[in-house]
């Protein structure tokens, strides 16, 4: 089941409402194949197999004429640009889509309210430098980019269901066109809330640019996964754990801070003798 970035539920995506979900070249090929198969079945076959071929040909012809494929609708996908919403900022099949999920042990309403204030996002999204709310729909975002650069864009909320979902998209002129949605689903038996984030973006230089970003350690899929983990910690424990300033092994320690173990032989696997405290020997002075 696939969620989209503009707030459509999965059952409303890709042709289920009657819109075409088959691209024009595929429609033409499907229609020609349908005509050929049906003609052959009627002219050459008079058995059950021929009837089956005629039905298959009829379906291919229907698929070509209407541009609708029941299989695509079932799989929540499609090849036609017509499946794009008017709110889409990235043409169908041209952007990079990321979808991550985490379970947070807090009520959905509380998580929704915290996320809805976009100025809270940099608190758990390290790749965001800042988000400034401009009004009840629009906000200005500044994000870190590879090689110490930053990118900026304005975004607007395009869909929301209180307590359940928020969807937003970048407006025209964004450094990186992008769209996103976050879904909050209360789990049964007070097991918390499933938080699902769906992001889609069009990286500079397309998929090649995305590959370069990944090599530079700025892979967005990892960033989103880490951000959700931070969000979980923030909402459940009130803080995001950090390792900044904490030593890792002997890394970051000055020589004077390192344990002095070599003299005792502990680091070489030699048992350190246990000191035995005995009384000091009595010194006998010679008699002159």
Tell me the pLDDT tens digit for each residue of 118-151: 999 999 998 899 999 999 999 999 988 777 888 8
Domain match, 134 and 216 both:
yes
Domain match, 166 and 105 both:
yes
pLDDT of residue 71: 62
pLDDT of residue 62: 87
Q: How many domains does the chain have?
A: 2
Which of the pair, 187 or 27, is modelled with greater confidence? 187
pLDDT of residue 119: 96
Domain match, 75 and 112 both:
no
In this structure, is residue 128 part of a structural domain?
yes
In this structure, is residue 283 part of a structural domain?
no
Q: Given the structure tokens 């900022």, which residue do they identify?
A: 89
Q: Residue 18's domain spans which residues?
A: 10-83
**pLDDT band of 80, cuts 50, 70, 90:** low
Domain match, 41 and 118 both:
no
In this structure, is residue 66 part of a structural domain?
yes
Whether residue 34 has pLDDT greater than 80: yes
In this structure, is residue 242 part of a structural domain?
no
Angle at 252 (CA atoms; ends 250, 258), nearest 5 degrees: 40
pLDDT of residue 265: 43
Domain match, 102 and 232 both:
yes
Tell me the pLDDT tens digit for each residue of 200-235: 877 654 444 444 444 434 567 888 899 999 999 999
Task: Flag the least confident range among 62-66, 76-80, 156-160.
Answer: 76-80
The whole-chain average pLDDT of the chain stands at: 73
Last residue of a domain, one of 26, 60, 83: 83
Average pLDDT, stretch 29-39? Answer: 86
Whether residue 52 has pLDDT greater than 70: yes
Last residue of a domain, one of 48, 83, 118: 83
Q: What is the pTM of this model?
A: 0.56
**pLDDT band of 82, cuts 50, 70, 90:** low
Domain match, 228 and 162 both:
yes
Average pLDDT, stretch 35-50? Answer: 82
Domain match, 115 and 199 both:
yes
Tell me the pLDDT tens digit for each residue of 2-17: 555 455 554 444 444 5
pLDDT of residue 221: 80
pLDDT of residue 37: 84
In this structure, is residue 45 part of a structural domain?
yes
pLDDT of residue 240: 75
Instruction: Say which CATH number the domain at 145 has.
Output: 3.30.530.20
Tell me the pLDDT tens digit for each residue of 145-203: 777 888 899 999 999 999 999 999 999 888 888 888 999 999 999 999 999 998 887 76
Which of the pair, 250 or 90, is modelled with greater confidence? 90
């Amino acid at each position: 089941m696939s969620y989209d970035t503009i707030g459509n539920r999965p059952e409303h995506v890709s042709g289920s409402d009657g819109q075409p979900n088959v691209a024009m070249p595929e429609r033409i090929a499907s229609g020609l194949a349908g005509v050929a198969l049906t003609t052959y079945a009627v002219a050459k076959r008079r058995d059950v197999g021929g009837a089956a071929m005629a039905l298959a040909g009829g379906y291919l012809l229907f698929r070509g004429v209407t541009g609708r494929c029941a299989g695509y609708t079932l799989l929540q996908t499609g090849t036609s640009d017509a499946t794009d919403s008017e709110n889409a900022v990235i043409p169908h099949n041209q952007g990079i889509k990321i979808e991550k999920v985490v379970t947070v042990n807090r009520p959905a309403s509380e998580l929704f309210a915290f996320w809805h204030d976009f100025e809270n996002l940099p608190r758990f999204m390290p790749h965001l430098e800042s988000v400034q709310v401009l009004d009840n729909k629009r906000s200005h975002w500044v994000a870190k980019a590879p090689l110490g650069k930053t990118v900026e864009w304005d975004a607007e909320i395009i869909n929301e269901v209180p307590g359940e979902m928020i969807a937003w998209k970048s407006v025209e002129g964004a450094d990186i066109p992008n769209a996103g949605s976050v879904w909050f689903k209360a789990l049964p038996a007070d097991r918390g809330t499933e938080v699902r984030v769906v992001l889609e973006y069009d990286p500079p230089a397309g998929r090649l640019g995305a590959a370069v970003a990944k090599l530079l350690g700025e892979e967005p899929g990892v960033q989103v996964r880490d951000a959700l983990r931070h969000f979980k910690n923030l909402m459940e424990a009130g803080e995001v754990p950090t390792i900044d300033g904490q030593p890792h092994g002997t890394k970051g320690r000055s020589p004077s801070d390192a344990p002095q173990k070599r003299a005792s032989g502990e680091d070489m696997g030699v048992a350190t003798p246990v000191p035995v405290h005995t009384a000091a020997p009595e010194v006998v002075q010679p008699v002159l």
